[in-house]
């Protein structure tokens, strides 16, 4: 069986839910990451930026847009010591402006993913995976990046069975 690491970036607090803003104690992507770990085991690692994004949802989206425009790599509080022991890396994030948040690319730039399988998953309210799968492949040319799972954030709480089945399928 392959050694599994689930890495995710998630936003707590104000989030967009099908036309309105709601505050949540646990981020949607974090919830999906936990479902994956419960289904297939392995280790769980949360990416956290040194500088916190604005608590206000709309301000946060503006910050995220500026980071994307500048191809920024925001500093992270910590990184895994190594990914050498892992064969499969589930990589989760919200879709910010059509791709993963720039903090995810900070993580990807920190390691050599050659020979690894990256299994992306993304929360959003209708924008799907965007270009994130292609963008991850570009950042990790030696990795195998498989088709990702897109989950609407407003459906995250009710998606455990769907997520578990998808995660198990990606370890075969």
> What's the CATH code of the domain at 60?
3.40.50.360
The closest of 154, 107, 129, 133 to 5, measured between CA atoms, is 107
- pLDDT, residue 102, reads 98
Domain around 151: 4-169
Given a contact cutoff of 8 angstroms between Cβ atoms, the answer to whether 15 and 155 are in contact is no
User: Which DSSP symbol is given to 121?
Assistant: E
CA distances from 1 to 10, 23, 120, 145, 168 (A): 28, 38, 19, 19, 11
For residue 111, pLDDT beyond 50? yes
User: Which DSSP symbol is given to 157?
Assistant: G
- Average of per-residue pLDDT across 1-26: 91
Query: What percentage of the chain exceeds 70 in pLDDT?
Result: 99
- Average of per-residue pLDDT across 14-26: 92
Give me the number of domains the chain comprises: 1
CA distances from 83 to 8, 74, 150, 167 (A): 14, 20, 24, 19
Tens of pLDDT, residues 45-83 = 999 999 999 999 999 999 999 999 999 999 999 999 999
- pLDDT, residue 149, reads 98
- pLDDT, residue 163, reads 98
Tens of pLDDT, residues 130-169 = 999 999 999 999 999 999 999 999 999 999 999 999 999 9
- pLDDT, residue 2, reads 67
Report the distance separating Cα 88 and Cα 6, nearest Å. 8
Structure tokens at 3: 């050694």
CA distances from 47 to 42, 91, 107 (A): 16, 10, 8
Query: What percentage of the chain exceeds 90 in pLDDT?
Result: 95
Element (H, E) at 92: strand 88-94
- pLDDT, residue 18, reads 84
> Which residue is listed with tokens 């919200």?
94
Give the other-Cβ count within 10 Å of 131's Cβ: 13
For residue 1, pLDDT beyond 60? no
């Amino acid at each position: 069986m392959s050694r599994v690491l689930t890495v995710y970036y998630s936003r707590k607090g104000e989030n967009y839910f099908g036309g309105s803003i709601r505050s949540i104690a646990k981020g949607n992507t974090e919830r999906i990451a936990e479902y994956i770990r419960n289904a297939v085991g392995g280790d769980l690692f949360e990416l956290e930026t040194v500088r916190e994004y604005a608590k206000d949802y709309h301000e946060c989206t503006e910050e995220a847009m500026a980071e994307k425009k500048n191809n920024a790599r925001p500093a992270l509080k910590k990184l895994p010591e190594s990914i050498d022991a892992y064969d499969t890396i589930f990589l989760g994030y919200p879709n910010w402006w059509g791709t993963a948040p720039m903090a995810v690319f900070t993580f990807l730039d920190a390691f050599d993913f050659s020979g690894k399988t990256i299994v992306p998953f993304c929360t959003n309210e209708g924008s799907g995976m965007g270009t994130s799968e292609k963008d991850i492949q570009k950042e990790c040319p030696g990795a195998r990046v498989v088709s990702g799972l897109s989950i609407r954030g407003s459906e995250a709480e009710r998606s455990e069975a769907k997520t578990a089945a998808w995660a198990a399928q990606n370890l075969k």
